[in-house]
Chain A
Amino acid sequence: MTARIGVVTFPGSLDDRDTQRAIRVAGAEPVALWHKDKDLKQVDAVVLCGGFSYGDYLRAGAIARFSPVMDTVIEQAKAGLPVLGICNGFQILTEAHLLPGGMLGNDHLHFICRDQKLRVENADTSWTSDYTAGQEIHIPLKNMDGRYVADRRTLDELEAEGRVAFRYLDVNPNGSLNDIAGITNAAGNVVGLMPHPEHAVESLIGTGRTDGLPFFTSILKKLVNA
Chain B
Amino acid sequence: MARVVVDVMLKPEILDPQGQAVQRALPRLGFEGISDVRQGKRFELEVDGPVDDAALARIHDLAESFLANTVIEDFTVKVESEDVVAGAAK
Interface-located stretch among A75-83, A98-106, A159-167: A98-106
Give the Cβ gap from B15 to chain A, nearest Cβ, in Å: 6
B85 within 8 A of A: no
B5 within 8 A of A: no
Give the bracket for the number of chain A residues in contact with chain B.
20 to 34
Residues of B within 8 A of A94 (CB): 71
Q: Contact at A175–B69, with CB atoms within 8 Å?
A: no
Residues of B within 8 A of A101 (CB): 71
Docked CA distance A49–B71 (Å): 23
Give the Cβ gap from A194 to chain B, nearest Cβ, in Å: 16
Q: Answer whether A109 and B21 are a contact pair too, CB < 8 Å, given A58-B67, A66-B66.
A: yes
Number of A-B residue pairs with CB-CB distance less than 8 Å in the complex they form:
34
Of A66, A102, A147, which is within 8 A of B71 by CB? A102
Of B15, B18, B71, which is within 8 A of A150 by CB? B71
Give the bracket for the number of chain B residues in contact with chain A.
10 to 19
A43 within 8 A of B: no
Q: Answer whether A105 and B71 are a contact pair too, CB < 8 Å, given A62-B66, A66-B66.
A: no
Residues of A within 8 A of B10 (CB): 104
Q: Answer whether A109 and B71 are a contact pair too, CB < 8 Å, given A62-B66, A66-B66.
A: no
Q: Contact at B69–A102, with CB atoms within 8 Å?
A: yes
Pick the most buried of A59, A94, A101: most chain B CB atoms within 10 A of its CB.
A59
B25 within 8 A of A: no
A156 within 8 A of B: no
Q: Contact at A62–B72, with CB atoms within 8 Å?
A: no
A108 within 8 A of B: yes
B17 within 8 A of A: yes
Interface residues, chain B, CB within 8 Å of chain A? 10, 13-15, 17-18, 21, 66-67, 69, 71-72
Residues 60-84 of A at the B interface (beta carbon under 8 Å): 62, 66
Q: Contact at A104–B72, with CB atoms within 8 Å?
A: yes
**Interface of chain A, main secondary structure:** loop
Give 10 new A-B contacts, CB below 8 A, not counting A58-B66, A62-B66, A105-B17.
Answer: A59-B69, A100-B71, A102-B69, A102-B71, A102-B72, A104-B10, A104-B72, A147-B15, A149-B14, A175-B15
Residues of A within 8 A of B17 (CB): 105-109, 175
Give the Cβ gap from B65 to chain A, nearest Cβ, in Å: 9
Residues of B within 8 A of A107 (CB): 15, 17
Residues of A within 8 A of B71 (CB): 94, 97, 100-102, 150
Q: Which residue of A lies closest to B13 (CB)?
A: A151
Residues of B within 8 A of A104 (CB): 10, 14, 72
Of all A-B residue pairs in the complex, the 10 with the closest CB atoms, nearest first, are: A102-B72, A102-B71, A107-B17, A109-B17, A102-B69, A149-B14, A59-B69, A149-B72, A109-B21, A107-B15
